[in-house]
């Protein structure tokens, strides 16, 4: 492991245990023919953004939200997902399916913001969007302030992103197939010649279709042609969280008993523990996976649960705004002075580890995502550096918004002195990796030679002549 990469201790009370585009091969069985599916790039589903949700170990796409304490933020989600919201009971995103997904419900890119009192108790996402649109609130421009950048990031006047990287990201399919996964964590756990049951094949191909049609804009998946049991997914960290702008990779395998048993998931940790649910050994702790306790509805349901559900749960419920409270032992302290103080310190450490994860990914990108990783960080490098500079100046972690940083006076408190120091110390490493990608705005400018005054030269020459004449 890179000497710059260090691990922080987990919470003391922890109790929770550029690929080639190819068409998938046609499977000559009486199941879904993947070749018939078409990716509609213009009508992708949008991500569920719930950075305020501190709940943890949630599965089956059921995402409880304390609606009495939190504002619910949702993007436009494919229909067919039922939402049950109540001021006395948690709400859940259930029954994710590819059926009934309307183009109109996926074309909007604006998030809807609503308070609990305005949320109907049961409705699908199409009516939810209409209801939320009536209560749509946007961040006031007065709450967004420009960020001053220092010498290491004279990026506030950055040139437009070169079209090659931007175009690559634009054209990079959210779901596609690849020939092989020679570096996959579960490569040795099966064979290409393995004969699977018709039920297994039908379910896996159904998952492929759902992923192809409904993946959010911040999740990308590659499936293996020669090993249909293998997937690789990358999730982009959401703004407003200590994971913002980062890339988080997961290797997935459909076991022989799928869908009776849930998929197996391994996180590319780089040896770092960035979340109570994500271990440095790669284990992902989630009820949906059977790696954490939960009630019947929170566990994997063979007739209902999907791979899309799993990925969205990881994005919205694990990589959230306050990961400290993902640990069940700490959840009761949410809202207390002590609990929030510990949460702040934990999130600050998480951001430092997220920066180290960025470096780890740039130096060793997973197969079939090499160009994606480099293009992603090329495009976002200047924003990441601007965010780091804001943190050095006292902005609290996770206060980053689109177009700037939320004013410190509008947040609970500024970042700690240790956090500012740690960010400043590691920025040199991060900026160095960005420069290797070709971000010329971040290159150190050579210091100009000292200006020599003519009178100074004359006086120096006179002193030398005076000393020689003695």
Residues recognised as catalytic = 285
Closest CA to 265 of 295, 304, 291: 291
| Residue keyed to tokens 């020459």 | 461
Q: Cα torsion for 272, 149, 437, 161, to the nearest 10°?
A: 120
Q: Which two tokens stand for residue 282?
A: 């790669």
Phi, psi (degrees; rounded to nearest 5) at 265: -130, 135
Q: Which two tokens stand for residue 435?
A: 């420069």
- Rounded to an integer, what distance in angstroms lies between the CA atom of residue 75 and that of residue 293? 29
Inter-helix orientation angle 417-437/370-392, to 10°:
150
| Residue keyed to tokens 């995402």 | 63
- Rounded to an integer, what distance in angstroms lies between the CA atom of residue 310 and that of residue 263? 9
Contacts for 123-127: CB closer than 8 Å, 24+ residues apart: 123/82, 123/83, 124/79, 124/80, 124/81, 124/82, 124/83, 125/76, 125/77, 125/78, 125/79, 125/80, 125/81, 125/83, 126/79, 126/102
Distances, alpha carbon 378 to alpha carbons 47, 108, 429, in Å: 23, 27, 15
| Residue keyed to tokens 């020689």 | 468
Q: Cα torsion for 276, 277, 278, 284, to the nearest 10°?
A: 160
3-state class of 162 per DSSP?
coil
Helices (H), 330-369: 337-363
- For every residue of 403-424, DSSP letters joined together read TEEE-GGGSS-PPPHHHHHHHH
- Rounded to an integer, what distance in angstroms lies between the CA atom of residue 155 and that of residue 435? 12
Closest CA to 444 of 135, 207, 68, 153: 153
3-state class of 329 per DSSP?
coil
- Are 321 and 71 a contacting pair, CB within 8 Å? no
- For every residue of 58-75, DSSP letters joined together read --TT-----TTT--EEE-
- Rounded to an integer, what distance in angstroms lies between the CA atom of residue 373 and that of residue 246? 10
């Amino acid at each position: 492991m890179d000497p710059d990469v260090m691990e922080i201790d987990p919470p003391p009370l922890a109790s929770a245990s550029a690929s080639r585009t190819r068409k998938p091969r046609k499977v000559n069985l009486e199941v879904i023919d993947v070749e018939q599916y078409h990716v509609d790039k213009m009508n992708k589903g949008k991500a569920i953004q719930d950075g305020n949700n501190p709940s943890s170990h949630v599965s089956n796409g059921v995402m409880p939200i304390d609606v009495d304490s939190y504002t619910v933020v949702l993007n436009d989600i494919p229909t067919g997902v039922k939402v049950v919201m109540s001021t006395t009971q948690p709400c859940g995103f259930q029954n994710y399916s590819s059926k009934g997904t309307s183009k109109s419900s996926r074309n909007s890119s604006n998030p809807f913001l609503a308070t609990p009192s305005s949320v109907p108790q049961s409705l699908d996402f199409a009516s939810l969007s209409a209801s939320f649109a009536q209560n749509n609130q946007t961040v006031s421009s007065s709450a967004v302030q420009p960020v001053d950048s220092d010498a290491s990031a004279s990026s506030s006047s950055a040139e437009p992103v070169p079209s090659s990287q931007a175009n690559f990201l634009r054209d990079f399919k959210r779901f596609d197939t690849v020939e092989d996964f020679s570096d996959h964590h579960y490569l040795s756990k099966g064979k290409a010649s393995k004969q699977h049951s018709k039920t297994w094949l039908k379910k896996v191909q159904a998952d492929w279709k759902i992923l192809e049609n409904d993946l959010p804009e911040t999740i990308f998946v590659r499936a293996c042609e020669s090993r249909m049991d293998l997937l690789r997914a990358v999730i982009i960290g959401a703004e407003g969280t200590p994971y913002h702008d980062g890339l988080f990779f997961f290797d997935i395998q459909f076991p022989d008993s799928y869908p009776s048993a849930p998929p197996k998931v391994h996180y590319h940790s780089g040896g770092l523990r960035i979340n109570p649910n994500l271990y440095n050994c790669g284990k992902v702790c989630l009820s949906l996976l059977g790696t954490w306790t939960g009630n019947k509805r929170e566990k994997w349901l063979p007739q209902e649960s999907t791979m899309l559900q799993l990925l969205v749960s990881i994005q919205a419920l694990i990589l959230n705004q306050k990961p400290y409270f993902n640990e069940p032992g700490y959840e009761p302290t949410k809202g207390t002075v002590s609990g929030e103080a510990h949460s702040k310190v934990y999130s600050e450490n998480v951001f430092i580890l997220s920066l180290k994860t960025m470096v780890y990914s740039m130096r060793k990108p997973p197969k079939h995502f090499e160009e994606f990783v480099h293009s992603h960080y090329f495009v976002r490098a200047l924003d990441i550096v601007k965010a780091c500079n804001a943190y050095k100046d006292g902005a609290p972690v996770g206060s980053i918004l689109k177009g700037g940083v939320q004013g410190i006076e509008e947040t609970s408190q500024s970042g700690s002195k240790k956090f500012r120091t740690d960010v400043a110390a590691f920025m040199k490493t991060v900026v160095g990796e960005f420069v290797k990608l070709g971000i010329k705005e971040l290159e150190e400018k050579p210091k100009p030679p000292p200006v020599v005054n003519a009178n100074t030269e004359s006086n120096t020459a006179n002193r030398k002549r005076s000393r020689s004449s003695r």
